[in-house]
Structure 1
Amino acid sequence: MNAVPTLETHLSDDDLTAALRADALLGLTSAPKWLPPKWFYDARGSELFEQITELPEYYPTRTERALLERVVGEIARSTRAEVLVELGSGSSAKTRLLLNALTAEGALETYVPQDVSSSALRAAVEEIAAEFPAVSVHGVVSDFTGTLGNLPRGGRRMIAFLGGTIGNLVPAERAEFLAGIHEVLEPGEQLLIGAGLVIDPAVLVPAYDDAAGVTAEFNRNVLHVLNNRLDADFVPEKFDHIAMWDAENEWIEMRLAATEATTVKVRELDLTVEFAPGEQMRTEISAKFRLDGLRNELAEAGFRTERVWTDPDDRFALVLSERV
C-alpha cells in the first residue's frame, strides 16, 4: 500500500480573491479592457469547459488524448521519470495515460499534481492514490505562473504541461514561465508540453465559437465570477461572445462585446466601469504554434528539444525537452 496522499497548499481562497482584485482593477481600467482567462474557472466554468471538450467543433482535447494514447509508451521509455509533476492538472484525466505507462516502466515513484482549485485537486489526489497504490501522490495547490519554486524536488522529474494551456500566455509570459521551469528543474530533467499548432482558421475558429453556444456561455462566465467574488453588477446577457483569429500573432482571441452602453459597478473595488456600445474586452488568447518557433522558445529558455510527436493532421504536438 502507498502512503496517505498529501495536499500542500500555497494558495488560499483569500490569496485568490486578492489576485482577482488586482487583475480586475488593472484589466478593467486598461484601454482596451482585458481579463485573464484563469478567472473563467469557478465550479460552473470548469463544468462548462468539460462540456466544450466534448463538442464536435472542439478538436484540441480529443486530438491531444489520441496522440498521447499513441506515443505514451515512447514518452515513458524516453524519460523513465521517477517523479511526474503535472501543472494545471484539474481532474488528472489525461495524466492517467502517463501514470499507467510510467508505472509499467517501473520507474515512477511519485505523482505531483498542481492546480489552483483545492477541491478539484483533493478529489483527484484521492482518486489517483486509490488507482495507483504503488505511487506516492503529493498535491500542490498553487498558481503555476507564480509558485513553481514550491514544487517538491528530488528524484528524476518530468514536468507535464498539457492541454495547450501554454498558448494562454503571451510571448513575454511564456518566456518568463519557461525560464521559471528551467530554474526549478535540474540538468537532465524533462518538460513535456502539449501545444496546438497553426492550422486552417476555418477549422480553428469554430473550435472557440461553437454552434451550440457553450463557449459563449463559458466566456461570459468570467462576468459571473466578478459578480460573485467582487460584488459587481455585470449583466452577462448584455455581452456578446467573439472569437477571432489574429493572423499576425497567430492566436485565437476571445472577447466580450457590450451590446449597448453599459455602466458596471464593482463594489469590492469601489470602481465604476463604462462600456461604450460595441466596446470589446479581451478575455483569452489561445496561441497556436509552429514547431520551429516552439523549439526556439524552449532553446532560449535553456531546453534542448528531444522528441516531437504530432497527430496525423498536424493539429497538435507533444514536445519533450530536456533542461540543459
Structure 2
Amino acid sequence: MIIEDFMQEVGESSIREKLLSCLRSNPKTLPCTFFYDRTGSELFEKITTLEEYYPPKVEIPLLRSTARKFDGELKGCDIVELGSGDCSKISVFLDEVLEENRQTIVYYPVDVSREAIEKSGSILRKRYPEMGLHGINADFLEHLRKMLGKRRGERRSLFCFFGSTIGNLDRTKATEFLKDLDGVMKREDRLLLGMDMVKDIDVLERAYNDSQGITAQFNKNILNVTNSHLGTDFNPDDFEHVAFFNRNYSRIEMHLRAKRDLEVTSPLFDEDIIFKKGETIHTENSHKYTVDHIRGMADAAGLFLRNVYTDDKKWFSLAEMVKV
C-alpha cells in the first residue's frame, strides 16, 4: 500500500510550541489530539467496550443499515475516511458492500498515525483483497487542501468522518472545517458525517464517567504525553478527572482538576507553570447535536443536507451531505 506522508513537516519543535502555548493560556488547555499515544489508544479501545459508553453500540448498527442504502452508488467511487484509526468502522461499512462494487473502490485512510494506517492497511488487504488502498498520513484539519487539492481524475468520492469526532471542534471551527471540505469536494461528492445527538444528560455524563475509571485514566494520560514532549514533571495522580454536560454549549467537557497547589517544571521552561488547587486543564469538548444544528452547519458550509440517518432512539446520526 502506498502511503503519502504529510506529517514530516510537523516537527517536534512545533509540537512543543503548541503544548506550551496551551499550558500558558488562560484557562489552561491541552489539545485532545494528544490523547492518542500507544497507551491512550489502548485505553480508548477499552472505553468503547464499556457498558456506559453508548456511541459504538448505536453507531455500528447504523453504519450497517446505511451502507446497504449506499451500496449501489459506490461503484467506481473513492472512499476517503478522515481519522480512520483502527479501520473497525469502515470494515462494518464495507462488509455491506457487494464484492463486485468493492472491486471498483479505492479506499483512502487518512490519519495522523502512520502506524495506524499500516496496521489497518494490513487488515484490509486480507479482508478485501479486491479493493484498492492508498494511505494518507496527515492531520486533516491542517493538511486538507494540500492532501486533497489535486483530485484523482473524474472519480466520485464519498468522504467518511465517523465517530462524532467533529464534536471535538467548537461550532465555528466545525463549520470552517466543513467549508474547507466543500472546497476540495467535486460536484456530487458526498460526506457521511457521524454526529452524536442531544439526549438525557444522565446518559451523556455516565458515558464520560464510567464506573471502572477507564475514562479518567485516558484523560490523565495526556499528562504523560505532555511529559514526553516537554520534559515536564506532571504527576497524573495530582489531578482528578472531571466530565460534565455544559447546557449552554450543548457539549460534554472534560477537564483535569488540580488536587493541590502545584509548580510544574521543565528544562525547556524559563518559568514554572503554576497551578492553584482546584484549577483545571480543559482537555476535550464533545458537542452534541440536534437536526437543526446539523442543518445549520450544512447550510453555513454550502453543502446540501440530503439525509439524516439515525437509530430508533435518535441517539446518534449519520448526516449525508452533498456538494452542489
Structures share fold, TM-score greater than 0.5: yes
Secondary structure of the 1:106 match is helix
How is 1:59-74 mapped onto 2 (pairs within 5 angstroms)? 59-74=54-69
Cα displacement (A) at 1:130 = 2.4
How is 1:1-324 mapped onto 2 (pairs within 5 angstroms)? 5-12=1-8, 15=10, 17-78=12-73, 80=75, 82-104=77-99, 106=101, 108-149=104-145, 150-151=147-148, 153-154=151-152, 155-324=155-324
Secondary structure of the 2:87 match is coil
Cα displacement (A) at 1:35 = 1.1
Conserved 8 A contact 1:83-1:157:
yes
Question: CA separation in 2, counterparts of 1:295 and 1:18?
Answer: 40
Conserved 8 A contact 2:74-2:101:
no
Question: CA separation in 2, counterparts of 1:298 and 1:266?
Answer: 44
Question: CA separation in 2, counterparts of 1:292 and 1:76?
Answer: 28
Conserved 8 A contact 2:108-2:133:
yes
User: Using a 3 Å threshold, how does the CA distance of structure 1 residues 181 and 53 change in structure 2: closer, same or farther?
Assistant: same
Cα displacement (A) at 1:269 = 4.7
Cα displacement (A) at 1:75 = 2.5
Conserved 8 A contact 2:74-2:105:
no
Question: CA separation in 2, counterparts of 1:245 and 1:136?
Answer: 42
Conserved 8 A contact 2:179-2:301:
yes
Conserved 8 A contact 2:240-2:258:
yes
Question: CA separation in 1, counterparts of 2:45 and 2:38?
Answer: 11
Conserved 8 A contact 1:167-1:287:
yes
Conserved 8 A contact 1:83-1:109:
yes
Question: CA separation in 2, counterparts of 1:313 and 1:19?
Answer: 43
Cα displacement (A) at 1:100 = 2.9
Question: CA separation in 1, counterparts of 2:163 and 2:34?
Answer: 17
Conserved 8 A contact 1:40-1:221:
yes
Question: CA separation in 2, counterparts of 1:294 and 1:135?
Answer: 32
User: Using a 3 Å threshold, how does the CA distance of structure 1 residues 248 and 78 change in structure 2: closer, same or farther?
Assistant: farther
Question: CA separation in 1, counterparts of 2:317 and 2:76?
Answer: 20
Structure 1: 5+ residue stretches without partners:
none
RMSD: 1.6
Cα displacement (A) at 1:23 = 2.3
Give percent identity, aligned residues only.
Answer: 35
Question: CA separation in 2, counterparts of 1:270 and 1:118?
Answer: 34
Cα displacement (A) at 1:27 = 1.1
What amino acid maps onto 1:138 in structure 2?
H
User: Using a 3 Å threshold, how does the CA distance of structure 1 residues 19 and 144 change in structure 2: closer, same or farther?
Assistant: farther
Question: CA separation in 2, counterparts of 1:273 and 1:314?
Answer: 44
Conserved 8 A contact 1:307-1:319:
yes
Report the TM-score, using the length of structure 2 for normalisation.
0.94
Cα displacement (A) at 1:76 = 2.6
Count of aligned positions: 319
Cα displacement (A) at 1:271 = 4.8
User: Using a 3 Å threshold, how does the CA distance of structure 1 residues 167 and 141 change in structure 2: closer, same or farther?
Assistant: same
Question: CA separation in 1, counterparts of 2:267 and 2:63?
Answer: 46
Cα displacement (A) at 1:99 = 2.2
Report the TM-score, using the length of structure 1 for normalisation.
0.94
Structure 2: 5+ residue stretches without partners:
none
User: Using a 3 Å threshold, how does the CA distance of structure 1 residues 82 and 121 change in structure 2: closer, same or farther?
Assistant: same
Question: CA separation in 2, counterparts of 1:16 and 1:72?
Answer: 38
User: Using a 3 Å threshold, how does the CA distance of structure 1 residues 268 and 15 change in structure 2: closer, same or farther?
Assistant: farther
